[in-house]
Each structure stands twice: as C-alpha cells, then as structure tokens.
C-alpha cells in the first residue's frame, strides 16, 4: 500500500532520518571528522574491539567456514558487523533501514540451533548480509528514495524472493542501504535519506544506484551485499568503491518481488547480483543462490545449475580504451593499460577494440527508461509533493512535455524492435573478433571502463552510462574488479578535444587532486549467461594484476 501523506514531505524525511539514527547505540557513536579518506576509521575509532576488527577483516567464505567449524559464533560476527555498519553510516550516510536488534536475535537462534543439531543452515550459515533498499524485508520500509513510500513497513508475505533465499541460505539480514530516487541516478541521493559519499574520498560519489551498498562494503561494514543493475547500478558503485561485483544475465538470480522505481518497465530487465571486497565472496553468493533452484520460485528464472567451466590456457581479450562518445579520464586509461600489460605478461593476447555503436545503445536505453513519458516517477513524486532530485530532471522535463500527449504502445514496440536488431549487430560484431584473436575463437572476454570516471566528484557524474548500459540491453554477463587508486602525480589532466557536450562537461570538471585516492576499477564482459566464465576470467585478471 502507498500512503498519501498529509504532513509536509520535509518533516516526513527528517523523521525517517532521526528514527534511523536513533537505532545506533550511544556507545557506537564516533566523533565527527573532516577527513576526506575515512577508510581506516572503523579500525581506529574505538567502537570495535580488537577481536571485532579481526572478524570484520575476514571475507565471507572464511567467516562461514569458521562458524561451521565452531571457531566463531554468528552472534559475535553479527555484532561486529552491526558495529562497523553503524560507523560506516556515520561516515558516509550509507544506510536506510537498520534492524540490528532483530539480526542479533536471529543470530543467537542460529547459534542455539547449530549447537543443538550440529547441522549448518546453509552455504551462508550465520553470515551477516546487507541488502539494497529496494528488497522488501518484513517490518521495515522500502522507500527507494520516495518520500511517499515512507512509513509503510512490509508484511512478511511481501518479502522479496531474494530476501527469502538469503534467509534460507542461512544469512543474517541486518540492514538495508541507500539508493537514489527511483534507482535511476548514477549517484546515490534522495529527499528521504540524502547523499551517500565515497569512503576513500568523501568529496566523491559512491556511485549509484547501489551506492549505499558500495560505501558500506568498502568500509567492511558488511562482508557481502546484494545490489541490482538495470543500466550499471551494481557496476558503477562497485567500481567507484573498489569492489568486486557480478552483473548476471537475466534469469540466473531471482528477481521476483523486489520494488522498482519504474514498475512494468521490462524491456530492459533489472537483475540482482552480489558486491563485496572479496571475489571469493561473490562466487560463494552466486553458487548459493543458484543452489536454491530459483526457477522453482520465480517464473522468470532459467533452470541452469551452477556450472564448472574450463578456459583455454592462452586467452584473447578485447580492450575498449574509448567508446567513441566519452574518453575515460586519465586514471581509468592508466588502469586499462595496466590490465593490458599484466595480461600480456601472463601470456595472453589483448586486442584494442571498439564496441558496436554505443551511441545507438544509449539512445535505446533512454527511450525505454522514459518510455512512459515520465509518468510513473511524476506520480510517485506528486504523492508527497517532494521536489524532483537534480538527477531526474530529464524525467521531469519529459513528463511536462508529453503529459497531454503520452507515448503510445506502438512507440514501445518500435523501440523493442530496434533493441533486438541492435543486439544482433552487437553479437555479430563480437563474433567477428575471431578474425583478430589468433585463437580461432572470438574474444574470450572484453575489458572496458565502467564509466569515464574513477569516482566522480559529488553531483558530477554527468549522465554517461553507455559503458555499462549497452551490456544491459544485450543482457551480457559482466563483473567489476579493482585495479588501483587515483594518484595526482601520474593522473594529471591531458589535452583532449571534446566530441560532445557530455564529454566536455566530464573533462572540464576532471581534476586529479579532487578525486585523489579514489579507487580505479574496470569491467570484464562475457556473453549471455556466462556468469561462471566471467568469474573465472576475473580471477585470472586479478591474479595477473597482482603478479605484475
């Protein structure tokens, strides 16, 4: 149910923030800091004991293993991450809904049951897991940044399928994380919860729309989080905060029952996927979810069990240095060349490659996302009377321009026809790479920027998502992986003549000092339904970078 509030929207939002903040115990509060880089504050602030710091520095598979072995208890692990998440919230404003008390009660029950039976609950036994705000969880709101959706807690029967799967895998859910309004902005801010910053440089964005997850995970306030991606919403924040992540093809991981800012927009399908500082954690989550056979609970899922894949000894990667629309800023170009050098040193071939007409993909994406004439978002905004966030100005303009003559279904059909034709051309373009690989195969994977930015300054993303969204249209599998950090001594601005207004804005704003210390990450893309291969090749790339 959506409630139509009579209270001014500013008061509703302020009350939500106050209620959230009141759930952080006084003894977990930290002194304010003016530092830009706060990545080490959880280790030094005094809130966590030395043992709790040690626990929160472990990755998800290790934590599960130690709990199953009886070396750690879920209660102690959950308490440690609740504390660290509380610190992360105070540093970056990454949380929306806090349910630490319920999580600790659940963890205690898990420990008692395990002591009694000796049988683990599942592959995520006792593990704290954070969720993006749009997953329904019993007893808390799912605002997705809309003021009108505040104060409407979900009943148990409304929980998202992914929420249920996490519980069935043995996970302890303990918080939800911030998103931009409608989850349709590449930075994370809204009128309910405000702006989420990047813990490596708080002058920068944590990305969007899973930006609360990325900030929390970077600070190790959670060992494993679940995000969603419809145009880059897992990969962009993961890249901004130096995380591993997986954007699957639609049909692998259950999506049914999650809340959308554009409900019914299914021409480009939103997917769910994992985010973490640990690649092993990403694989653990993927195997765990597929192991629950989601095709028996979500009618859109494909009956594909998790597969072990073998890859050839000598591989060939495509490398996108520039998509022809917006040239990456210097740190990203440096990371691309580092990856190329590392892979070549490991005995693989890397071929510079241009993707198929990303400007066409960009046009199709915008036509789909605004295909209702901006009506849905306008309706939800008007329910509370809140103002449009800056990042949704295009939706506002489209609604105002078309509200008397809304788009017709035939226009949607035309765009879907164009999408399918585009996907065919992308496939043919990829397959034609067998002519240059020297292996007799097309590219085993493509390595690409995630965005033109390392992490953009606050409110300076400037709307270029073509590096990610073209792989949403085509439904290809993709990962992110960290490479380095911005270093002003080597990442100074170079002369570049902009080819369009968006590129000019991004390059005019770029200043290595402003984004100093921000993570620099890349994207690895495989073809449809190749999640296992994507993870295996990401592991190979990460090993090559480490050895370089």
HSE, side-chain direction, 13 A CA sphere, residue 282:
29
What average pLDDT does range 51-71 have in this prediction? 98
Q: Which residues are catalytic?
A: 132, 209, 233
Angle between helices 466-473 and 409-431 in degrees, nearest 10: 100
**Short-list 425, 480, 427, CA closest to 451:** 480
Count H helices, E strands: the chain? 19, 13
pLDDT in tens, 15-32: 999 999 999 999 999 999
Q: Per the annotation, does 232 bind a ligand?
A: yes
pLDDT higher than 60, residue 2: no
Is 131's pLDDT higher than 70? Answer: yes
Contact predicate 395/377, CB 8 Å = yes
According to the annotation, is 231 in a ligand binding site? Answer: yes
**pLDDT tens digit sequence for 391-417:** 999 999 999 999 999 999 999 999 999
Q: In whole angstroms, what is the distance from residue 500 CA to residue 494 CA?
A: 17
> Tokens 């605004």, residue?
370
User: What is the C-alpha end-to-end distance of the chain, expressed in Å?
Assistant: 55
Strand ranges for 262-381 from DSSP E: 271-276, 316-319, 349-352
Instruction: Say whether pLDDT at 237 is over 70.
Output: yes
pLDDT of residue 183: 98
Contact call for residues 468 and 232 (beta carbons, < 8 A)? yes
Ramachandran angles phi, psi of 132, nearest 5°: -60, 150
Q: Return all residues near 198 (Cβ < 8 A) that are at least 6 apart.
A: 92, 204, 205, 206, 207, 215, 218, 240, 241, 455, 518
For residue 335, the tally of other CB atoms under 10 A from its CB is 27
- What whole-number percentage of the chain has pLDDT above 90? 99
Q: Is 209 annotated as a binding residue?
A: yes
Quick check: 159 and 257 in contact, CB under 8 A?
Answer: yes
pLDDT at 6: 81
Q: For the domain 316-371+407-547, what is the CATH code?
A: 3.90.1300.10
**Are the C-beta atoms of 335 and 450 separated by less than 8 Å?**
no
DSSP assignment letter at 304:
-
Task: List the beta strands (DSSP E) in 381-472.
Answer: 445-448
Cβ atoms of 233 and 209 closer than 8 Å? yes
Residue 190 — φ and ψ, nearest 5°? -165, 175
**pLDDT at residue number 308:** 96
pLDDT at 5 over 70: no
Q: Counting Cβ atoms within 10 Å, is residue 417 exposed (0-12), middle (13-18) or buried (19+)? A: exposed
The architecture in CATH of the region 13-296 reads: Alpha-Beta Complex (3.90)
Please state, in angstroms and rounded to a whole number, the distance separating the CA atoms of residues 79 and 68: 17
Q: Is the pLDDT of residue 1 over 90?
A: no
Look at residue 246 and give its three-state secondary structure. strand
Bridge partners (DSSP) listed for residue 332: none
Beta bridge partners, 523, equal 448, 480
Calpha distance 530→527 (Å, rounded): 6
Q: Contact, 365 vs 465, CB < 8 A?
A: yes
Are the C-beta atoms of residues 482 and 238 closer than 8 Å to each other?
no
Strand order in the sheet with 271-276: 95-98, 172-177, 128-132, 225-229, 271-276, 244-247, 478-485, 519-525, 445-448, 316-319, 349-352
Six-digit token string for 499: 């080819």
Cross-strand bridge partners of residue 519: 485
Determine if the peptide bond prior to 209 is cis (ω within 30°): yes
- The DSSP result for 103-165, as a single string, is HHHHHHHHHHHHHHH----STTTT-EEEEETTS--BTS---TT-GGGSS-PBPGGG--HHHHH
Helix axes 531-547, 330-345, angle to 10 degrees: 90
In whole angstroms, what is the distance from residue 478 CA to residue 159 CA? Answer: 27
Question: Which pLDDT band holds residue 3 (cuts at 50, 70, 90)?
Answer: low
The pTM score is 0.98
Domain boundaries, the chain: 13-296, 316-371+407-547
Q: What residues have CB less than 8 Å from 487, skipping those under 6 apart?
A: 331, 512, 516
Average pLDDT, the chain: 98
Q: In terms of DSSP bridges, do strands 271-276 and 349-352 run parallel, antiparallel, or are they unpaired? A: unpaired
- 139 in a known ligand binding site: no
Give the residue from 361, 276, 265 showing the smallest Cα distance to 59: 276
Q: What is the pLDDT of residues 481-528, one digit of tens each?
A: 999 999 999 999 999 999 999 999 999 999 999 999 999 999 999 999
pLDDT at 4 over 70: no
CA distance 162 to 179: 18
Q: Say if 13-296 and 316-371+407-547 have the same CATH topology.
A: yes
- The bridge status of strand 244-247 relative to strand 478-485 is antiparallel
The answer to whether 236 touches 480, Cβ cutoff 8 Å, is no
């Amino acid at each position: 149910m959506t409630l139509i509030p009579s209270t001014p929207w500013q008061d509703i939002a302020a009350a939500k923030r106050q209620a959230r903040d009141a759930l952080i115990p006084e003894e977990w509060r930290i002194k304010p800091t003016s530092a830009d880089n706060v990545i080490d504050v959880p280790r030094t602030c005094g809130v966590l004991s030395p043992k709790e710091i040690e626990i929160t520095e472990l990755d998800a598979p290790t934590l599960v293993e130690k709990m199953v072995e009886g070396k750690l208890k879920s209660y102690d692990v959950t308490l440690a991450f609740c504390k660290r998440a509380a610190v992360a919230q105070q540093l970056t404003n990454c949380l929306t809904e806090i349910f630490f008390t319920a999580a600790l009660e659940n963890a205690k029950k898990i420990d008692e049951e395990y002591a009694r039976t000796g049988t683990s609950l599942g592959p995520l036994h006792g593990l704290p897991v954070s969720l993006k705000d749009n997953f329904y969880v019993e007893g808390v709101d799912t605002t997705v940044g809309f003021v009108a959706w505040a104060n409407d807690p979900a009943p148990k029967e409304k929980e998202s399928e992914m929420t249920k799967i996490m519980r069935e895998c043995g996970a302890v859910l303990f918080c939800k994380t911030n998103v931009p309004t409608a989850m349709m902005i590449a930075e994370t801010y809204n009128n309910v919860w405000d702006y989420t910053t990047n813990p490596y440089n708080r002058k920068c964005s944590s990305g969007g729309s899973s930006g609360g997850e990325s900030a929390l995970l970077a600070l190790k306030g959670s060992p494993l989080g679940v995000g969603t991606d419809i145009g880059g919403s897992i990969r962009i924040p993961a890249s901004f905060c130096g995380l591993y992540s997986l954007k699957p093809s639609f049909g692998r991981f259950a999506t049914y029952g999650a809340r959308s800012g554009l409900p019914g927009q299914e021409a480009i399908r939103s997917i769910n996927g994992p985010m973490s500082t640990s690649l092993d954690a990403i694989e653990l989550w993927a195997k765990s979810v597929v192991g629950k056979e989601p095709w028996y609970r979500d009618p859109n899922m494909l009956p594909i069990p998790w597969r072990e894949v073998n890859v050839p000894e000598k591989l060939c990667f495509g490398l996108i240095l520039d998509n022809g629309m917006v040239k990456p800023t210097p740190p990203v170009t440096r990371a691309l060349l580092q990856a190329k050098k590392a892979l070549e040193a490991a005995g693989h071939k890397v071929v510079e490659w241009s993707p198929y007409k990303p400007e066409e993909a960009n046009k199709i994406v915008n036509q789909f996302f605004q295909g209702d004439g901006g009506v849905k978002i306008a309706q939800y905004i008007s329910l509370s009377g809140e103002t449009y966030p800056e990042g949704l100005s295009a939706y506002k303009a489209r609604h105002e321009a078309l509200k008397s003559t809304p788009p017709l279904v035939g226009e949607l059909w035309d765009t879907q026809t164009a999408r399918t034709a585009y996907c065919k051309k992308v496939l043919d373009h990829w397959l034609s790479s067998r002519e240059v690989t020297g292996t007799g195969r097309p590219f085993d994977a493509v390595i690409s920027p995630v965005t033109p930015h390392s992490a953009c300054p606050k409110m300076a993303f400037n709307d270029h998502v073509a590096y990610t969204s073209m792989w949403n249209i085509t439904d290809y599998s993709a990962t992110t992986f960290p490479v380095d950090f911005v270093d002003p001594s080597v990442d100074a601005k170079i002369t570049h003549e902009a080819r369009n207004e968006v590129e000019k804005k991004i390059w005019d704003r770029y200043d290595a000092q402003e984004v100093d210390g921000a993570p620099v990450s890349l994207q690895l893309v495989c073809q449809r339904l190749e999640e296992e291969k994507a993870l295996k090749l990401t592991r190979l790339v990460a090993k090559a970078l480490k050895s370089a």
